[in-house]
Amino acid sequence: MNLHSNRAAALAALALSLSLLTACGSDDSGSDSGSESGGGGGDVAMTMLPKNLGNPYFDTSTTGAETAADEVGATIEQVGPETGDDPAGQVPFINTVAQQGADGLIVSANDPQAICDAIGEARDAGVKVVTFDSDTNPDCRDLFINQATAEGIAAKQLELISEQIGGSGEIAILSAAANATNQNAWIEMMEAELESNPDYADIELVDTVYGDDQDQKSFDQTEALLQNHPDLKGIISPTTVGIAAAARYLSESESKGKVMLTGLGTPNQMRPFVEDGTVEAFALWNPGDLGYLAVHATQALVDGDITGEEGDTFEAGELGEFEVGADGVVLLGEPFTFNADNIDDFDF
Amino acid sequence: MTTPRTYSEFSRPLWMRLLLTRETAVIALTAAVVVYSLATVPNFDGPLTLKFLLQDIAPILLIALPMTLIIITGEIDLSVASIVGLSSVMLGVLHDNGLSVPVAALIALLVGAACGALNGFLVAYVGLPSLAVTIGTLALFRGIAVGLLGTKAVTEFTESWTDLATATLGSTNIPVVMVPFVVLALGFSLLLHFSTFGRGIYDIGLNDEAAHFTGVDVARTKWILFVLSGVVSAFAGIYYTLRFGSARGDNATGMELQVIAAVLLGGVSIFGGRGRLHGVIAGVVLIGVIASALRLERVTVNVTNIIIGLLLIASVISTPLLSWVATRLPRKAPPSEEPTPPKQATPAGV
C-alpha cells in the first residue's frame, strides 16, 4: 500500500461522507416539513408497527388507522421490518419510538415476549402502547385490540350457514389440520351451539373433514364430502385455505349454487367466487376497523380519558363506544361479513 | 506494521502516514456522521440513543473480532449467524429442561466451539475452501437450530439474566455487554497486532505457502481462528437471546452479511493480508449510526440498506480504483527503484 492510494482512500472517504451528508440533509428537510404539519397544533404523534411492511392485511389496518388519526387530529406513521416475522426486527423500531418520545405506539407483536423489554422502555419514556392483531403478554402493554373471540367466530359462521341454507338441512365442516388448536376450539363451540340453540334444531352436522390447510387436499376433501353426502346443503370452512379450495371445487361443479359455502376467508382470495355466485357471504374481521379502533383507543389513553383498567369506556368514532375488558383487552366486535355488496371495498 | 515498507511510505513523517490510513478515514467518516446526526437528526442527541445503538450493534461488534482475523488470513466464515441461532436454541432448550442460565450458556458456548472446530477442521486440515465449507455449515447449523425448536420460541428465562443483558453500567447509558466486548477487543488486538501468532495471520493472508516456509503453522492458526469464531458467535447468540428474552431457531438470520459488510467497510481486504481491528470497529459503529439516524428520520429499511450497500461498494472499489489512478499520476519524488507491491496481484483463498 503506497502513500498515493492511502491518500486516495481518504479522499474517497471524504467524498462519500459529503454525499452521505447531502443525502441525510434532503431526508431531514422532508421530515421537518412533515413534523411541522403534524406537530403544529400540539397533535398527538403515533407510530404504527405491523409485523412487516408490504402486507395487504396490515396495509388495510394502516388505512383504517389513518382515517381515525385524521378524525382525532393525530399524526400516524407506519414503520416496520420489510419481511419476515423476526421479533428482533421490530425492536429497533420500538426503540426509535422511545427515543422520539412519541405519544403512542400501535404494534402487532411478532413474539409475545421478545419485544416486551423494548415496549417497557418505550412506556418508561411516556409512550402509550396498544397491541392489535397479535398480542404481547398482557403486562407488557396498555391495551390489546382483539379482532374477534372464539365464541364470536363460531356464532357468526353458524348464523351465516343457517341463513344460506334456509335454517334446515345437512351441513359439514372442512377444517385445517386435525390438531389445529383454533379450528378445534371453534368446531367444539359450533357443535355445542347446534345442540343447544333451538334456531338450529333442523340443522344436522354430518361430517367434519380435514384439509390440513393444503389447497389440493382441501379440494379433494370437498369433492369427497359431496360424494359421501348427496343431501349436503352447506359447508363451513373455518380456515382461509380451506374455504378458497372448497369454493374453487364448487365453482366448477354442478353443486355450484346448490351447496352453500361459508367460513373464514380473505376478500382477495374469495372475490372471484363471490362474483360468480359460488359463495354468498363469508366472515373475517375487518383489519381496517382494527386499525381505526386502535388509533381511537390510543388517543383515549394519551388524552387520559382511560387508563386501560377493566370497565373503562371510550368513543371510537363511527364504530361507537367500547369498553375495556379483563386483561386490558378491547374486543372489536363480532366478525365482519363480506358479501357481493361490500367485497370490492377491500383489498387484502 | 505489516504492509510492505516501501520508499514512498517513508517519504512522509509518521504522524502524516497515520492520518492517511484507511482506518483513519473510516474513523473520520464515522465521527463526521455522528456529529452531523447530533446536529440535525431530531432526538439523536437523546439519552437513549447510545444505549440502543450499542445494544443493536453488540452482536455484530463481537463477531466482527474473529471475523476480521479470519478474513485477514484470506478465509471467510459465513456460518456465524447460524451459530448464533444454534447457541440461542441450545440455551433455550436446555434452560427449558431445567438447567440454569449459566450452565446452559456454558454448554451453548461449547456447542459454538464445536461448530467452529468443525469448520476449522474442514478448512485447515482437509483443505477445503472456506467459502464452500461455511455455506454448507450455514445451512447445517441453521437446520439443526430450527429442527430442535421448530417454529416455537422459548421465552421463559430467569429474569435476573435477561435484566443483565439489557442493563447499563451504573448511571451511564453504556450497556453491560460492552464490558465483555472491550475485554475481547483488547484480547483480539493483542493477538492480531502484538503477537507472533498475529504476524502469522497476516503472513498467511499474504501468501500461505511462504508463511509455511517461514515457520507459521498455517493449519493450526486457521483452526484456532475458526474455533474462536464459533465461541464468540455463540456468546453473541447468548447475549442476543437474553436481550430479546426469546430463543428461536431463526434468530439473527442474515447477520453474517452485516458482519462481513462491516469488516470490509473497516478496511480489511477480502483477499487477505490487510486490515486492522480499530478500522473494523469503526466500520461496525458507522453502519450502526447510519441505521439509527435514518430510523429516527423515518427512512425505510430499504433505503437504509441501499445507502449502506452503496457505501460498502464505494469503499471496496475505492482502493483498487484510486491506486490505479495513483499509478497514472506523475509522482513528485519517484523512488530510484520502483518497488513492486508484493501482495496486490495474488489473492489468497476465496
Domain boundary at A284, A303, A325, which? A284
Distance, CA of B303 to CA of B310 (rounded, Å): 11
Query: Are A55 and A124 members of one domain?
Result: yes
- Specify the pLDDT at position A262: 96
- Specify the pLDDT at position B16: 64
Sheet containing A260-263: order of strands: A203-210, A169-175, A232-237, A260-263
Distance, CA of B115 to CA of B83 (rounded, Å): 7
Instruction: Please answer yes or no on whether B17 and A25 come within 8 Å at the CB atom.
Output: no
Query: Are A156 and A214 members of one domain?
Result: yes
On the question of pLDDT at A181 being above 90, the answer is: no
Q: Which residue did the predictor score with more confidence, A232 or A184?
A: A232
- Specify the pLDDT at position B59: 97
Instruction: Classify the C-alpha dihedral A79-A85-A91-A94 as positive or negative.
Output: positive
Mean pLDDT confidence for B124-128? 96
Closest CA to A272 of A245, A236, A248, A243: A248
Q: Which of A19, A20, A22 to mutate to test the interface with B (most CBs of B within 10 A)?
A: A20
Residue B290 lies in a domain: yes
Instruction: Please answer yes or no on whether B22 and A10 come within 8 Å at the CB atom.
Output: yes
Q: What percent of chain A has pLDDT over 90?
A: 70
Asked whether the ipTM of the predicted complex exceeds the cut of 0.95, the reply is no
Q: What is the pLDDT of residues B217-249, one digit of tens each?
A: 999 999 999 999 999 999 999 999 999 888 988
Among chain A residues, the shortest Cα distance to B344 is held by A1
Instruction: Please answer yes or no on whether A17 and B9 come within 8 Å at the CB atom.
Output: no
Show Cβ contacts of residue B129 under 8 Å, excluding neighbours closer than 6 positions: B123, B349, B350
Q: Which residue did the predictor score with more confidence, B315 or A21?
A: B315
Give residue B137's pLDDT band: very low, low, confident or very high (50, 70, 90).
very high
Please count the structural domains in chain B. 1
State the CB neighbour count (10 A cutoff) for residue A72: 20
On the question of pLDDT at A39 being above 70, the answer is: no
Q: What is the pLDDT of residues B10-26, one digit of tens each?
A: 556 666 666 667 888 89
Give residue B152's pLDDT band: very low, low, confident or very high (50, 70, 90).
confident
Q: What is the pLDDT of residues A138-166, one digit of tens each?
A: 999 999 999 989 899 999 999 999 999 99
Please count the structural domains in chain A. 2
CATH code, B223: 1.10.3470
Domain boundary at A284, A299, A322, which? A284
Q: Do the strands A232-237 and A321-323 form a parallel or antiparallel pair, or are they unpaired? A: unpaired
Lowest mean pLDDT among A264-278, A299-313, B244-258: B244-258
Q: What is the pLDDT of residues B17-56, one digit of tens each?
A: 666 678 888 999 999 999 999 999 999 998 889 999 999 9
Closest CA to B75 of B139, B134, B121: B134
Q: What is the pLDDT of residues B64-83, one digit of tens each?
A: 999 999 999 999 999 999 99
Query: Are A243 and A155 members of one domain?
Result: yes
Q: B13 CA to chain A: closest CA distance, Å?
A: 11
Cell of A150: 372464539
Which of A10, A53, A114 lies closest to B244 in CB terms? A114
CATH code, A318: 3.40.50.2300
State the CB neighbour count (10 A cutoff) for residue A344: 11
Query: Are A139 and A161 members of one domain?
Result: no
Residue A347 lies in a domain: no
Domain hosting residue B258, numbered range: 28-325
Among chain B residues, the shortest Cα distance to A81 is held by B301
Distance, CA of A64 to CA of A347 (rounded, Å): 12
Alpha-helix runs per DSSP H in chain A: 3-39, 56-72, 87-100, 116-124, 150-165, 181-196, 215-228, 240-252, 267-275, 287-303
- Specify the pLDDT at position B321: 72
- Specify the pLDDT at position B15: 66
From residue A285, give the alpha-carbon distance in Å to each of A161, A235, A290, A327, B150: 17, 20, 8, 21, 29
Residue B88 lies in a domain: yes
Instruction: Please answer yes or no on whether A13 and B295 come within 8 Å at the CB atom.
Output: no
Residue B43 lies in a domain: yes
Residue carrying the nine cell digits 489473492: B347
Distance, CA of A11 to CA of B314 (rounded, Å): 12
Q: Helix B80-96 vs helix B130-149: angle between axes, to the nearest 10 degrees?
A: 20
Report which secondary-structure segment, H or E, holds A204: strand A203-210
Q: What percent of chain A has pLDDT over 70?
A: 87
For residues A76 and A50, is the Cβ–Cβ distance under 8 A? no
For residues A100 and A127, is the Cβ–Cβ distance under 8 A? no
Q: What percent of chain B has pLDDT over 90?
A: 68
DSSP code, position A126: T
Give residue A209's pLDDT band: very low, low, confident or very high (50, 70, 90).
very high
Query: Are A139 and A155 members of one domain?
Result: no
Cell of B265: 467497510
Residue A278 lies in a domain: yes
Which of A24, A53, A117 lies closest to B36 in CB terms? A24
Cell of B134: 461455511
Buried b / exposed e along B38-75 (16+ C-beta atoms within 10 A): eebbebbebebbbbbbbbbbbbbbbbbbbbbbbbbbbb
Query: Are A156 and A272 members of one domain?
Result: yes
Residue B338 lies in a domain: no
Residue A340 lies in a domain: no
Q: What is the mean pLDDT of chain B?
A: 88
On the question of pLDDT at B332 being above 90, the answer is: no
Give residue A21's pLDDT band: very low, low, confident or very high (50, 70, 90).
very low
Q: What is the pLDDT of residues B268-292, one digit of tens each?
A: 999 999 999 999 999 999 999 999 9
Mean pLDDT confidence for A284-307? 95
Which residues, numbered 25 to 84 in chain B, qualify as contacts with chain A under a Cβ-Cβ cut-off of 8 Å?
A: 25-26, 28-29, 32-33, 36-37, 40-44, 46, 48-49, 52, 56
Domain hosting residue A211, numbered range: 150-284
- Specify the pLDDT at position A2: 44
